[in-house]
């Protein structure tokens, strides 16, 4: 199946499931960051930007810690394909809570429901999708998960582009209600599409092969070999660097909202967001990131395929992660340049081109390595740890998500140019260090020599 040019329809079931869920998630993520800081008279909650930053941080963080728990449950006890719709229903209820929110407490309740629902949903959809291509080599898995990533970003683009207009033209509450509706539609789509998944996800991942021999079962229960331990170590190393990437990546959003964004959306207007008399929603920054992902992910899927056909083969995951970090460093440098040009608000606003360039460089850094994490884990994780390690990949983002809001608030007491200039230097150094040690890291996953 996996070596055939035609992918199973179940792949599109899983991928479109992500589209609907991410449509709601990214609109909600923007809403949780902006809605609380808008004045109550204008339909917001009137909280400070510091409180908004922390809520945004919680929204991201707690939706990235729970997938490791959901993956553990899916590995051992509950069929993954049943956990997915349960997660969708909980996420739909979360957006309904945000729809009726009257204070910070209800937004926290929304975040809790969303976190639990995401835990049941996120890693398990990827795990089910990967199980439809069990005999695939790494280059095929790279293509599969790169295309899945495009579906993810189609959802992100539509949510932040169109649902954000519901917020700016009507109210944030209407937008949250629409997010809930899309989650319930997503649940209906999943129940319709389960018939096309074959045996993938019918049983817990550790018991998915019902014809497994006793020898294979014994191998699954055996202690990890030296090579398996090395591969687990490699997955953890690349995951840690991924966490550094996402910490800075999410920190790029808050200055766009609160510094470069228009005043009527809680910003300081360092950039000009006007098209005639129309003021663009700052969510369109998120939309630009998603649109560039949609365009670039298939391009990079082809690039990885072509590179894999070379005698020297494709770049390894560690090289791609290092290059992603370096591009993110350029993204931060562009943001600092924009702050210098605007005099941190003391001069005329810069053109929106600065914000677009920030989106371009952060997206290139993202698509070079992020879609490949699931492929890397699916290829090298010991079978008994597949669901858990698929959860570990987003688990590190819990710490990144938990930290980026408070870190932004701490840095906000200093000059933006100096603070974010230092951040750019740190992320660039991380990329260079990973490049220096790439060969040693690659050796951890290399096949043992005969």
What residue numbers bound the domain in which 393 lies? Answer: 9-205+224-445
The percent of residues in the chain predicted with pLDDT above 90, rounded, is 55
How much is the pLDDT for 221? 65
Strand partners, 274: 279
427 assigned to some structural domain: yes
Where is pLDDT greater, at 394 or 444?
444
Tokens of 150: 């495009």
d(CA 67, CA 411): 30
Which DSSP category does 278 fall into?
E
Predicted confidence at residue 220, as pLDDT, reads: 59
Strand ranges for 97-232 from DSSP E: none
CA angle 191, 193, 197 (to 5 degrees): 115
Going by C-alpha positions, the residue among 149, 85, 77 that lies closest to residue 388 is 77
Say if 216 falls within a structural domain: no
Separation of alpha carbons 163 and 49, rounded Å? 22
**426, pLDDT greater than 60:** yes
**What CATH number is associated with residue 415?**
1.20.1250.20
**Within-domain flag for 1:** no
Q: Which positions ≥6 away from 337 have C-beta within 8 Å?
A: 354
In a domain, 213, yes or no: no
Alpha-carbon torsion angle 363, 364, 365, 370, nearest 10 = 80
Identify the band that residue 255 occupies on the pLDDT scale cut at 50, 70 and 90: very high
Determine, yes or no, domain membership for 134.
Answer: yes
Rounded mean pLDDT, 401-429: 95
The whole-angstrom separation of Cα 152 and Cα 131 is 19
Residue pLDDT, tens place only, 260-295: 999 888 889 999 999 988 999 999 999 998 899 888
Question: Does residue 2 surpass a pLDDT of 70?
Answer: no
Q: What is the mean pLDDT of the chain?
A: 88
User: Does residue 119 lie within any of the structural domains?
Assistant: yes
In a domain, 302, yes or no: yes
Residues in a beta bridge with 275? 278
**What pLDDT is recorded for position 300?**
85
Confirm whether 22 is domain-assigned.
yes
Task: Please give the Cα distance from 189 to 201 (Å, whole number).
Answer: 16
75-114 pLDDT, tens digit each: 889 999 999 999 999 999 999 999 999 999 999 999 999 9
Q: Of 426, 286, 435, give the one whose Cα is nearest residue 369.
A: 435
Pair of tokens at residue 16 = 């479109």
Encoding tokens for residue 446? 């290399």
Q: What gap in Å lies between CA 231 and CA 443, rounded to an integer?
A: 9
As to burial, measured by CB atoms within 10 angstroms (0-12 exposed, 13-18 middle, 19+ buried), residue 268 is middle
φ, ψ of residue 280 to 5 degrees: the values are -65, 140
∠ Cα 125 127 132 (to 5°): 100
Residue with tokens 């582009």: 161
Task: Please tell me which residue, 164 or 448, carries the higher pLDDT value.
Answer: 164
CA distances from 248 to 43, 244, 366, 420, 429 (A): 30, 7, 11, 10, 13
Q: What is the mean pLDDT of residues 189-196?
A: 95
> Could you tell me the maximum CA-CA distance found in the chain, to the nearest angstrom?
73
Contact in structure between 241 and 434 (CB atoms under 8 Å): yes
| Euclidean distance between CA atoms 12 and 18, whole angstroms | 10
CA within 13 Å, CB half, 414: 12
CB 80 within 8 A of CB 204: yes
Q: Give the torsion through C-alpha atoms of 184, 185, 186, 190, to 10 deg.
A: 100
**DSSP assignment letter at 137:** -
User: What is the tally of structural domains in the chain?
Assistant: 1
Q: How far apart are CA 175 and CA 207, in angstroms?
A: 41
Q: What is the pLDDT of residue 68?
A: 81
Element (H, E) at 56: helix 49-76
Q: What's the token pair of residue 332?
A: 């931060």
- The pLDDT score that the predictor gives to residue 450 is 39
Between CA 357 and CA 335 the distance in angstroms is: 9
Say how many C-beta atoms besides its own lie within 10 A of residue 113's C-beta.
20
Distance, in Å, from the CA atom of 342 to the CA atom of 338, rounded to the nearest integer, reads 6
Statement: residue 6 has pLDDT above 50:
yes
Residue 216 pLDDT grade (very low, low, confident, very high; cuts 50, 70, 90): low
């Amino acid at each position: 199946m996996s070596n055939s040019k035609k992918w199973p329809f179940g792949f599109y079931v899983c991928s479109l499931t992500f589209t609907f869920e991410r449509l709601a998630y990214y609109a909600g993520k923007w809403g949780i960051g902006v809605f609380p800081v808008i004045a109550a008279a204008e339909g917001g909650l009137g909280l400070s930007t510091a409180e908004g930053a922390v809520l945004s941080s919680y929204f991201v963080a707690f939706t990235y810690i729970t997938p490791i728990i959901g993956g553990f449950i899916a590995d051992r006890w509950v069929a993954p394909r049943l956990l997915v719709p349960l997660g969708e229903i909980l996420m739909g209820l979360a957006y309904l809570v945000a729809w009726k929110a009257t204070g910070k407490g209800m937004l926290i309740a929304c975040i809790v429901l969303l976190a639990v629902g995401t835990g049941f949903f996120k890693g398990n959809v990827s795990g089910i999708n990967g199980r439809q291509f069990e005999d695939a080599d790494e280059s095929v898995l790279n293509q599969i998960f790169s295309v899945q990533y495009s579906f993810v970003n189609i959802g992100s683009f539509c949510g932040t582009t169109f649902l954000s207009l519901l917020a700016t033209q009507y109210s944030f509450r209407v937008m949250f209600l629409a997010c809930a509706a899309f989650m319930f539609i997503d649940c209906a789509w999943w129940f319709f599409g389960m018939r096309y998944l074959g045996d993938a996800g019918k049983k817990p991942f550790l018991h998915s092969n019902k014809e497994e021999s006793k020898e294979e079962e014994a191998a699954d229960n055996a202690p990890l070999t030296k090579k398996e331990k090395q591969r687990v170590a490699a997955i953890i190393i690349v995951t840690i660097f991924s966490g550094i990437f996402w910490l800075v990546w999410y920190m790029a959003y808050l200055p766009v909202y609160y510094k470069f964004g228009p005043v009527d959306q809680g910003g300081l207007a360092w950039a000009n967001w006007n098209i005639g008399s129309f003021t663009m929603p700052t969510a369109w920054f998120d939309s630009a990131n998603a649109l560039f992902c949609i365009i670039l992910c298939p391009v990079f899927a082809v690039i990885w395929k072509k590179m894999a056909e070379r005698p020297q083969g494709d770049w390894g995951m560690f090289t791609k992660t290092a290059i992603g970090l370096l591009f993110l460093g350029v993204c931060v440098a562009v943001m600092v340049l924009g702050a210098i040009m605007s005099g941190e608000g003391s001069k005329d606003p810069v053109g929106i081109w600065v914000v677009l360039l920030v989106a371009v460089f952060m997206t290139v850094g993202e698509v070079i390595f992020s879609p490949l994490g699931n492929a890397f884990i699916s290829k090298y994780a010991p079978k008994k740890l597949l669901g858990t390690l698929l959860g570990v990949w987003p688990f590190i983002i819990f710490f990144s998500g938990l930290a980026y809001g408070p870190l932004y608030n701490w840095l906000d007491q200093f000059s933006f140019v100096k603070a974010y200039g230092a951040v750019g230097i740190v992320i660039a150094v991380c990329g260079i260090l990973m490049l220096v040690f790439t060969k040693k890291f690659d050796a951890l996953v290399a096949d043992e020599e005969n």
